[in-house]
Amino acid sequence: MPGDSLNVHLNTKATTQNTYDAIVVGSGISGGWAAKELCEKGLKTLVLERGRNVEHIKDYAGTEKNIWELPHHLKQTEEDKKNSPIQSKCYAYDEVSKKFFVNDIENPYTQVKKFWWIRGYHVGGRSLMWGRQSYRWSDLDFEANAKDGHGVDWPIRYKDLASWYSYVEKFAGINGNKDGLAHLPDGEFLPAMEMNCLEKHVAASLKQNYSDRVMIMGRSANHTKQVGDRGPCQYRNKCHQGCPFGGYFSSNSATLPAAKATGNLTLRPNSIVLDVLYDKDKRRATGVRILDAETMKTEEYYAKIVFLNASTLGTAQILLHSVSDVFPNGFGNSSQQVGHNLMDHHYGVGARGEYEGFADQYYYGRRPNGIYVPRFRNVNDRTKRSDYVRGFGYQGGAQRGRVSNADGIGIELKEALTEPGNWTMQLGSWGEHLPYYENKVTLNKDKKDKYGLPTLDIDCEFRENEKIMRKDMIDSAAEMLEKAGLKNVKTFDNDPPPGFCIHEMGTARMGRDPKTSVLNGNNQMHDVKNVFITDGACMSSSACQNPSLTYMALTARAADFAVNELKKGNL
Amino acid sequence: MNRRDALSRVALLLGGTVIGAEFFLSGCTSSDKKVGQSVDFTADDIAYLDEVAETIIPATDTPGAKAAKVGTFMTVMVKDCYDEKNQKVFLDGMNKINEDSRKKFGGNAFMKITPEQRKQLLTELDKEQKEHAKNKNKEDDPHFFTLMKQLTLLGYFTSEPGATQALRYVPVPGRFDACIPYKKGDKAWAL
């Protein structure tokens, strides 16, 4: 195996015990993939996770319960809101899933500007609670910075990543249709889920009324067919509580078990990484220093390569905290870009309406997926906007809810509420956020957490381009629904702050020039060749698609590159 | 995205019910206040709330709110999920119903009046709360009967009898059928 030929210099017994071929920091979506790839390539790999262990199925207690068996029928208590004022705002936070969200009071940060940071500190990270929407990017996205001058040019193009998307899709298990769209490339799909009758109607209306856009079935990491020993999906739509059927992709259900099966994985929960260790003579990282969250003791671990997958803000925090003579402003930060160019998607905006037909139609099962309207603005010359750059997509769906605002009390009320009401449909929009140097995260040495570590100051906002785009996001949603014959169409703009879309990215961006970027085209630090960053921190732009699938593909690609470089003796 | 939208969006994606989300939102409205001091409810309070709930959702060919133990559910929610402001509105409302009952029905408290009289009384309160909701400013207190009605409907339709008998409930659907025939009278899915 490739790992066997590697030379390891061992000094002491303690060093031997704490020395691995590779260290992966973080066990979320990208960390899980790094662990799987490195272990499968034969590297003895240590995965460090700052939170507690979460074992697949065993630690999903509560998800098997019926709603009436939960004291508050899934709802949040005042205590929940007191302990987690930020997390409890998240749509996925409920009476069962709340154990996967941090206590905000115990894990403070500073909102220089309003920023809602949604976090899960445990093995699997947010791969447990994520929405599982999975879309490829295309050259529309990878060329965007070069074309309009925002941010730095991506050092890669779609052709560099296409086969890696295929590679991760096959393992992760993504459902979807082959829709044949150049700017939302098809992948290796499990059978798609199906649109309900109102969704089909609106999709047909779009086709009839517009030449520039389509409505497709959402693509998600839920298993419409069994994938390995996972699934298939049972259509309970309780994914965020942990799926006891393994009917989806998560680190806990998929990548970590695969890594473990190689015999090369060592998983160490409760391990908060403090710094990356650096040998200035060799100009290489030698490992990391951790704080054991249970014993409060520090310890050092050594490896030939280090993958940072601690999440966009977590990774930035580690880099900024790893200071030395060589890197006084943060590890591998000669570009001064670490912590900067923080992006999220801007969302929480769109329209909904009612439909007065299909009274004789309904559905069965709770589909954990919706519809998707891929980007249709600034896609080509014909769709070019003069008022903003980049674009947005829509996610949403139709349902037949029960009558709302029912008047009265007694038998009539009861009867009115036991039958389904009109069909309704909602389109919510996700828009691209440009990379701005001023949107940044910095360390606050005056405000320490319970471990005595400096906390983060997050200073991030949406600007003019995003704000102008939002108007179009609202208007276009309402227009599409109205053209499809929906009535009582109402728009909404909840104006959520950055962070709340949980697509934060960009704090250690990839780029061609070491002077203006932190990572090269292989997610390798320009300054320190044996350190790789493949979580959201690496992103040079945000596109408008949900980013997790791209993190997976970048991780698998970088792991392949890293191991090849290691074999060649370049690291 | 605020909670209202998040919930309705989720409900939408889940094929769930927007109505439940709305009830929850008003029932569990967030504030930055400290958690209310422990509110104590007696067995009599629960019996009384059971009757209020039963008047809102009576037993028919399916069980009513009392059989679904909605009185107990209301006390748990008021205690754990209400801020002090809404706790006070709710508790004052419990007294108000009895006051109204005594005034209207010869000095008899709510527990002493007939089911017909109860329905008459609460029907008026329902009109009152609807009017209140229409005219109130965002920061004004909700009407107490808005809270009681919402908790009753939430509690009932997420209870075992409510979900499995008044509605249809399948804990593990096992598949998704996007379009199936529906005929008038078929019950709605519970979730």
Q: What average pLDDT score do residues A143-172 get? A: 98
Distance CA B186, CA B191 (A): 15
Q: State whether residue A363 sits within 8 Å of chain B by CB.
A: yes
Distance CA A527, CA A539 (A): 17
Distance CA A165, CA A21 (A): 26
**pTM of the full structure:** 0.93
Q: Could you give phi then psi for residue A473, rounded to 5 degrees? A: -60, -40
- CB atoms B15 and A366 under 8 Å: yes
- CB atoms B35 and A78 under 8 Å: yes
Q: What are A160-172's pLDDT values in tens digits?
A: 999 999 999 999 9
Cis peptide before A232 (omega within 30 of 0): yes
Cα Rg of chain A, angstroms: 24
Tell me, what's the pLDDT at A452?
96
- CB atoms A75 and B81 under 8 Å: yes
Which pLDDT band holds residue B28 (cuts at 50, 70, 90)? Answer: very low
Q: Where are the beta strands (DSSP E) in A197-345?
A: 216-217, 265-268, 271-279, 284-292, 298-302, 305-308
Tell me, what's the pLDDT at B37?
53
Look at chain B and report how many structural domains it folds into.
1
Query: Which of A91, A133, A352 should one mutate to test binding to chain B, selecting the residue with the greatest count of B CBs within 10 A?
Result: A91
Tell me, what's the pLDDT at A379?
98
- pLDDT > 60? residue A383: yes
B36 → closest Cβ in A78, A234, A361: A78
Domain assignment of residue B177, yes or no: no
Q: How far is CA A567 from CA A488, A528, B91, in A?
A: 64, 17, 72
- pLDDT > 60? residue A303: yes
Which pLDDT band holds residue B191 (cuts at 50, 70, 90)? Answer: confident
Looking at beta carbons, which residues of chain A come within 8 Å of B179? 194, 196-197, 200, 361-363
Lowest mean pLDDT among A241-255, A398-412, B160-174: A398-412
Q: What average pLDDT score do residues A338-365 get? A: 97
- pLDDT > 60? residue A294: yes
Tell me, what's the pLDDT at A438?
98
Q: State whether residue B189 sits within 8 Å of chain A by CB.
A: yes
The nearest CA of chain A is from the CA of B130 a distance in Å of: 8
Per the CB < 8 A criterion, the answer to whether A93 and A87 are in contact is yes
Looking at beta carbons, which residues of chain A come within 8 Å of B169? 66
Q: What average pLDDT score do residues A30-45 get? A: 98
Domain assignment of residue B56, yes or no: yes
Q: Which domains does chain A have, with CATH numbers?
A: 17-110+120-133+155-176+221-343+504-540+549-571 (3.50.50.60)
Closest residue on chain B to A201 (Cα): B179
| pLDDT, averaged across chain A | 96
- pLDDT > 80? residue B21: no
- pLDDT > 80? residue A481: yes
Tell me, what's the pLDDT at A12?
64
Tell me, what's the pLDDT at B72?
98
- CB atoms B187 and A418 under 8 Å: yes
Tell me, what's the pLDDT at A292?
98
Q: What are A510-558's pLDDT values in tens digits?
A: 999 999 999 999 999 999 999 999 999 999 999 999 999 999 999 999 9
Which pLDDT band holds residue A15 (cuts at 50, 70, 90)? Answer: confident
- The B residues from 94 to 133 touching A (CB cutoff 8 Å) are 119, 122-123, 126, 130
Tell me, what's the pLDDT at A11?
52
CB atoms within 10 A of CB A560: 16
Distance CA A154, CA A133 (A): 23
Report the percentage of chain B scoring pLDDT > 90. Answer: 77
Lowest mean pLDDT among A3-17, A121-135, A474-488, B63-77: A3-17
A196 → closest Cβ in B5, B169, B179: B179
Looking at beta carbons, which residues of chain B come within 8 Å of A397? 12-13, 15
- pLDDT > 90? residue B14: no
The size of chain B, in residues, is 191
Domain assignment of residue B50, yes or no: yes
Domain assignment of residue B186, yes or no: no
- pLDDT > 50? residue A475: yes
Q: What average pLDDT score do residues A173-198 get? A: 98
A362 → closest Cβ in B20, B35, B180: B180
Number of H helices, E strands in chain A: 12, 20
With a CB cutoff of 8 Å and minimum separation 6, the contacts of B134 are: none
Q: How far is CA B70 from CA A193, B47, B66, B148, in A?
A: 37, 10, 6, 10
Tell me, what's the pLDDT at A7?
40
Q: What are B92-130's pLDDT values in tens digits?
A: 999 999 999 999 999 999 999 999 999 999 999 999 999
For residue B99, the enclosing domain spans 3-166
Tell me, what's the pLDDT at A405?
67
Domain assignment of residue B189, yes or no: no
Q: Could you give phi then psi for residue B116, rounded to 5 degrees? A: -65, -45
Looking at beta carbons, which residues of chain A come within 8 Å of B173? 234-236, 364-366
Report the percentage of chain B scoring pLDDT > 70. Answer: 80
